[in-house]
Amino acid sequence: MTDVRKLYIFLCGYEIIRKSACTRGLGDNFILAVPICAYLLDTAQGLVMFDTGLDSARLADDARARALFKNDKFPAPPIVLPEHELLTQLAAIGVAPDDVSQVILSHTHGDHVGYLRHFRRARVVIQRVEHAAAFSDEGRGRYFFSDIASPDIDWHLIDGDCEIMPGLDAILTGGHRPGHQSLVVQLPESGTKVLTADVADLRENFVSEILGSAVDDVAALASIRRLNAIVASTGAELVPLHDPDFVHNARLAPLFYA
């Protein structure tokens, strides 16, 4: 029994990242363009977004974009072209932001919360510890805090694993961030998909259990293993959010998985 009817994967741009940032020193000279994805679930209980991409307005001014995004990990700012715009892609399948009843956030990094403020009628589901970290003094100093700062956001804080509805489970997968979460989605025909979000960037991280970017390595490795165990026990498919090979071979919106 599942209330989920369709899964749409949106390609919302690219981040230019050193591979060593994804796999801890393995591939120091290699630069990857990793996709930024967001997801829409069409369910019997309404439309549900999982993450909301990176706000392209942050990239409009070159000098400002370089100041924000260029560092040891990212040799150049992200790329968000008009065809990557989330709201445009939603409109193309007939969805307005006000039609979305829930937004589930994997975590509060800027490439996941960019367009959150547009989903004004949605309940926003986040792990309590992630929300607390995002609203801490440290969190408030981050450039993307303004993406989540609106007092009008209808936060719904959850603690650990949580069934959102039949066929849709949030799984606490801390490590990359204190309260990072992933989704396990049961589709009527396509089987079970594990939307990893940023537990790790690449499929390679899961295959070889290699850590990527994390605030807590022990938790991050446990999260990689937890998702691998779910795949092993259910036959689910991993859907890594930032893996170029996976995303470039996936069925992207306006196509969908049913």
Q: For Zn ion, give the closer residue by CB, 110 or 167.
A: 110
Which span sits near Zn ion by CB under 5 A: 64-72, 106-114, 202-210, 225-233? 106-114
- Verify binding: residue 198, Zn ion, rule CB under 5 A: yes
Q: Which is nearer to Zn ion, 19 or 109 (CB)?
A: 109
Nearest to 86 by CA among 48, 51, 110: 51
Question: Toward Zn ion, which CB reaches closer, 142 or 156?
Answer: 142
Stretch that binds Zn ion, among 2-10, 60-68, 151-159, 197-205 (CB under 5 A): 197-205
Please tell me whether residue 84 binds Zn ion under the rule CB under 5 A. Answer: no
CB of 212 to Zn ion, least distance (A): 9
- Pick between residue 111 and residue 204 the one whose CB is nearest to Zn ion: 111
Q: Total number of residues binding Zn ion (CB under 5 A)?
A: 2
Residue closer to Zn ion by CB (options 144, 257) is 144
Asked if 109 is part of the footprint of Zn ion (rule: CB under 5 A), the reply reads yes
Applying CB under 5 A, which part among 29-37, 132-140, 194-202, 203-211 lies near Zn ion? 194-202
Residue nearest to Zn ion (CB): 109
CB of 37 to Zn ion, least distance (A): 12
Binding site for Zn ion (CB under 5 A): 109, 198
